[in-house]
């Protein structure tokens, strides 16, 4: 049975249907800084129709859980959980942004290198997920760094993510062996392929209940309204 995969973690919305071998049956994607909550349901319906499937015929729903933008992550998770519930309680499989980026890299880009998935928090910091050479799982939770405070990699590193150009340039300026990869934004196809490994028991499960922000969303404390002027 195939799976449906969704991602809205960064500035792209995507959906895909994959069979259990990882073959793509249908896919849709569009660059989007905003509007994820509108685009994702349309893409999900489109790829299911193109694949000739209805949700109850799926084995699972996979979804990117972040790190990423608050609105896009929430929209993707809510849609994934809604489709899974409506189809009779399908499993919902979480995939981190870094895991999806790593899955999209070529063997040549990964050979002999650790991977840094570097994401722009849009709050003046870089969120890093670290992957050891050849690993499909991050070494720990994502961690935020100011660009000038990035750690020095202990060996050759490949850099992916939307902050990869800035991060790779800084590492190269320090004399590190850093390779800038072509992977900038995660997509649903890569999310689906990681999820298939989880579904087969080849990777440990990952919950898809809450977004993985790494940093809490910026929230402003409501300010009291000024008193009304005296009459």
For residue 152, give the CATH number of its domain: 3.30.420
Instruction: Please tell me whether residues 118 and 9 are part of one structural domain.
Output: no
Query: Residue 218's pLDDT is what?
Result: 46
- Give the single-character DSSP code of 23: -
Length of the chain equals 231
Return the bridge partners of 3, or none. 18, 60
Query: Residue 68's pLDDT is what?
Result: 92
For 47, 126, 135, the CA distances from 19, given in Å and listed in that order, are 13, 35, 24
Per-position pLDDT tens, the chain of length 231: 999 999 999 999 999 999 999 999 999 999 988 889 999 999 999 999 999 999 999 999 999 999 998 899 999 999 999 999 999 999 999 999 999 999 999 999 999 999 999 999 888 899 999 999 999 999 999 999 998 999 999 999 999 999 999 999 999 999 999 999 999 999 999 999 999 999 999 999 998 988 876 555 544 444 454 555 554
How is residue 219 written in tokens?
């929230």
Query: Residue 94's pLDDT is what?
Result: 97
Query: Residue 199's pLDDT is what?
Result: 96
Instruction: Please tell me whether residues 51 and 130 are part of one structural domain.
Output: no
Query: Residue 221's pLDDT is what?
Result: 40
Nearest one of 4, 10, 8, 6 to 160, comparing CA atoms? 10
Query: Residue 219's pLDDT is what?
Result: 41
- Give the single-character DSSP code of 14: E
How is residue 176 written in tokens?
């590190």
Instruction: Please tell me whether residues 191 and 77 are part of one structural domain.
Output: yes
Query: Residue 25's pLDDT is what?
Result: 98
Q: How many domains, in total, are found in the chain? A: 2
- Give the single-character DSSP code of 142: -
Instruction: Please tell me whether residues 174 and 113 are part of one structural domain.
Output: yes
Tokens 């991060």 belong to: 167
User: The pTM is what?
Assistant: 0.90
Q: Could you tell me if residue 205 is inside a domain?
A: no
Tell me if 128 sits within 8 A of 145, measured CB to CB: yes
Q: Could you tell me if residue 27 is inside a domain?
A: yes
Q: Could you tell me if residue 161 is inside a domain?
A: yes
Instruction: Please tell me whether residues 28 and 9 are part of one structural domain.
Output: yes
Instruction: Please tell me whether residues 191 and 163 are part of one structural domain.
Output: no
Q: How far apart are CA 123 and CA 138, in angstroms?
A: 23
- Which of 152, 180, 208 terminates a domain? The answer is 180
Instruction: Please tell me whether residues 176 and 194 are part of one structural domain.
Output: no
Q: Could you tell me if residue 225 is inside a domain?
A: no
3-state secondary structure of 13: strand
Q: Could you tell me if residue 219 is inside a domain?
A: no
Q: Could you tell me if residue 227 is inside a domain?
A: no
Domain harbouring 195, CATH code: 3.30.420.40
Instruction: Please tell me whether residues 176 and 112 are part of one structural domain.
Output: yes
* Contacts with 42 (C-beta within 8 Å, 6 or more apart), sequence order: none
Tokens 């849009």 belong to: 122
In terms of Cβ atoms closer than 10 Å to its own Cβ (0-12, 13-18, 19+), residue 172 is middle
For 43, 44, 48, 119, 194, the CA distances from 122, given in Å and listed in that order, are 26, 28, 33, 9, 26
Instruction: Please tell me whether residues 93 and 190 are part of one structural domain.
Output: yes
Instruction: Please tell me whether residues 118 and 162 are part of one structural domain.
Output: yes
Instruction: Please tell me whether residues 44 and 12 are part of one structural domain.
Output: yes
Query: Residue 33's pLDDT is what?
Result: 86
Host domain of residue 63: 3-97+186-199
Query: Residue 92's pLDDT is what?
Result: 97
Instruction: Please tell me whether residues 90 and 118 are part of one structural domain.
Output: no
Alpha-carbon Rg for the chain, nearest whole angstrom, is 19
């Amino acid at each position: 049975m195939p799976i449906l995969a969704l991602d809205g973690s960064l500035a792209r919305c995507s959906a895909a249907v994959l069979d259990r071998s990882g073959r793509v049956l249908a896919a849709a994607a569009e660059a989007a800084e905003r509007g994820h909550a509108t685009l994702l349901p349309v893409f999900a319906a489109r790829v299911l129709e193109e694949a000739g499937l209805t949700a109850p015929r799926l084995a699972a729903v996979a979804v990117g859980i972040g790190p990423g933008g608050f609105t896009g992550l929430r929209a993707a998770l809510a849609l994934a959980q809604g489709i899974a519930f409506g189809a009779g309680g399908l499993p919902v499989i979480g995939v981190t942004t870094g895991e999806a980026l790593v899955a999209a890299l070529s063997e040549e880009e990964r050979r002999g290198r650790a991977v840094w998935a570097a994401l722009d928090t849009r709050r003046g910091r870089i969120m890093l997920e670290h992957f050891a050479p050849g690993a499909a799982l991050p070494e720990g939770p994502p961690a935020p760094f100011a660009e000038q405070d990035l750690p020095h990699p202990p060996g050759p590193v490949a850099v992916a993510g939307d902050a990869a150009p800035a991060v790779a340039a800084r590492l190269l300026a320090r004399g590190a062996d850093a390779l800038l990869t072509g992977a900038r934004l995660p997509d649903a196809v890569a999310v689906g392929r990681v999820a298939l490994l989880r579904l087969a028991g080849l990777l440990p499960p990952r919950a898809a209940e809450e977004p993985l922000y790494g940093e809490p969303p910026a929230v402003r404390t409501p300010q009291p309204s000024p008193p009304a002027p005296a009459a």
